[in-house]
Amino acid sequence: MPELPDLEAIQEFLLRELVGSRVSSVEVLQPIPIRRPTPEEFVRQLTGNLLTSVSRRGKFLLLSMESGHVLALNPMLTGRLQYCDARERRRARTCFILAFQGGRQLRYFDAKLMGKVYLVEESRTREIPRWEEMGPEALAPQVTLEVFRQRLRRHPGQIKNILVNDTFLTGIGNAYADEILFAAGVYPFRKRTSLSQEEAEALFRAMRQVLEEATTIVSSRMGDDIHVKIRDFLRVHGKGGQACPRCGGSVSQITANQRLTNYCHTCQPRLP
């Protein structure tokens, strides 16, 4: 799943490469991810439209059009955007293609058709399901330590589940939740109520550091390959069975709550 660092890098790329470009044609190949409007209306509204801005809200990438419409893409687990020449071979499960003047294309492909795509008027983004329920951006300046603590107190349950819950803060997914918890030295399955004030502060500091550093790394390495998920620099996520970069022990890997979780038993101990 693209998370805050990935989407920030994609946003920067599209701002640089595509803003001010006009859509010459639209092709819908797999309509399933397009939740609103109909495929026919999707094609009609976007053809000839000018891309005026690109922004992000949580795990949504937002392409603003001259007509006042916003193309809101939530890639979910398997959705990817690809920017390429029109002659390049199409990937399996390419769902739709926006062709721009000049011969380049922005393609959306999704191996499991899990993503959700909406084309709505800018004033009606609140009608996108769960849009109004999203919490503040994880790196928003207004999310101070005190705000972080206040929002944390609203949520019961295990701390990793809270971190990936968009109603807490938005933009954090499975991979970066693992990284934040490792950096803070917090066991992923700890109950929120068991955290001390010091541990909550450590989580806040780790969240900002991990996401900021990852955004810088991904932005510097992504280039034109906006469909590539850059995760090799992560310290524990996806590193099950490898040596912990802090203590040298083995990184654990388990599946819980339908998520892969990686952590270090030594650096992230359970409560006694």
188 is a catalytic site residue: no
Question: Which is the catalytic residue, given 3, 8, 137, 179?
Answer: 3
Question: Which is the catalytic residue, given 35, 149, 205, 259?
Answer: 259
59 is a catalytic site residue: yes
Question: Which is the catalytic residue, given 59, 116, 190, 239?
Answer: 59
Question: Which is the catalytic residue, given 2, 5, 33, 188?
Answer: 2
156 is a catalytic site residue: no
Cα–Cα distance between 169 and 3 in angstroms, integer?
Answer: 12
116 is a catalytic site residue: no
**Which residues are catalytically annotated?**
2-3, 59, 259
